[in-house]
């Protein structure tokens, strides 16, 4: 990235975007850009055995805020239940309003296919919310804003049909991400999946493929699959 960008990364749960696009967010922050995360649910159903779900939710919200603050950004969390994310226009307009508030030029969310219903719903919600946010005819409190670039992040839970299309060099943001991601308890301590270790290693694999240090991969909307060139 050569210019200062504003990035809004929208995940179904706290931690989704911090893991899959966190190095890009950190690189953007290091370059003087603006970053924000939005979780449509807190991901509280992943509470460790014996933990109080409500207390774990509050802890995850605090973790999201800590991660964003380390990048000089802001974290938003909507008040929807993990695993029961409504796929309706009420949620779409909640997201629309945050897009208009943040004014991102880059928007990131989940790939359309996922083993997790909230991830798939989030993908649909964000695509429509981006449309609503960009059309002045949808009258809201804030004026319209269209996020021109839309990326779908690489996530092991969203792997079916994911084909890397854009490789972004995130080497500059790696060390900041490595520090910030430790704010997320599950990323470091989960017994079901080694999240931090996986995405750390994946960034190096993608970096090797891109002939650089670290990289994160993204898909783009099908309608944007074109190469414009001259002889």
Q: What is the pLDDT of residue 47?
A: 87
Which pLDDT band, with edges at 50, 70 and 90, does 1 fall under? very low
Q: Is 20 exposed, middle or buried (0-12, 13-18, 19+ CB in 10 A)?
A: buried
What's the mean pLDDT in 15-22? Answer: 98
Q: CA 71, CA 22: separation in Å to the nearest integer?
A: 10
Q: Give the Cα-Cα-Cα angle 65, 69, 72 (nearest 5 degrees).
A: 145
Pick the CATH number of 6-224 from 1.10.760.10, 3.20.20.450, 3.40.50.10320, 3.40.50.2000: 3.40.50.10320
What's the mean pLDDT in 13-34? Answer: 98
Q: Is the pLDDT of residue 3 over 90?
A: no
Rounded to a whole number of angstroms, the distance between the first and last alpha carbons of the chain is: 26
Which pLDDT band, with edges at 50, 70 and 90, does 137 fall under? very high
Q: Is 79 exposed, middle or buried (0-12, 13-18, 19+ CB in 10 A)?
A: exposed
Q: Is the pLDDT of residue 2 over 80?
A: no
Q: Give the Cα-Cα-Cα angle 140, 146, 148 (nearest 5 degrees).
A: 165
In tens, the pLDDT along 80-113 reads 999 999 999 999 999 999 999 999 999 999 999 9
Q: Is the pLDDT of residue 216 over 80?
A: yes
Mean pLDDT of the chain: 96
In this predicted model, which residue has the larger pLDDT, 226 or 110? 110
In tens, the pLDDT along 152-211 reads 999 999 999 999 999 999 999 999 999 999 999 999 999 999 999 999 999 999 999 999
SS3 letters across 121-143? HHHHHHHHHHHHHHCCCCCCCCC
Q: In the chain, pLDDT over 70 holds for what percent of residues? A: 99
What's the mean pLDDT in 70-82? Answer: 98
């Amino acid at each position: 990235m050569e210019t200062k960008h504003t990035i809004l990364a929208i995940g179904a749960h706290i931690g989704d975007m911090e893991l899959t696009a966190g190095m890009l967010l950190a690189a953007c922050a290091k370059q003087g850009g603006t970053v924000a995360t939005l979780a449509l649910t807190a991901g509280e159903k992943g509470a460790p055995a014996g933990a109080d779900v409500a207390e774990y939710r509050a802890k995850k919200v605090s973790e999201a805020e800590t991660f964003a603050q380390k990048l000089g950004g802001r974290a938003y969390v909507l008040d929807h239940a993990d695993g029961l994310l409504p796929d309706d226009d009420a949620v779409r307009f909640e997201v629309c309003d945050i897009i208009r508030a943040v004014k991102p030029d880059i928007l990131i969310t989940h790939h359309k296919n996922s083993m997790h219903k909230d991830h798939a719903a989030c993908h649909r919600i964000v695509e429509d919310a981006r449309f609503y946010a960009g059309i002045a005819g949808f009258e809201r409190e804030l004026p319209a804003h269209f996020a021109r670039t839309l990326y779908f992040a690489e996530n092991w839970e969203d792997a079916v049909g994911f084909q890397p299309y854009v490789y972004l060099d995130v080497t500059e943001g790696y060390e900041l991400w490595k520090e910030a991601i430790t704010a997320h308890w599950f990323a470091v301590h989960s017994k079901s999946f080694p999240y931090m270790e996986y995405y750390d290693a994946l960034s190096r694999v993608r970096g090797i493929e891109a002939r650089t240090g670290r990289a994160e991969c993204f898909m783009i909307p099908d309608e944007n699959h074109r190469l414009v060139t001259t002889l």
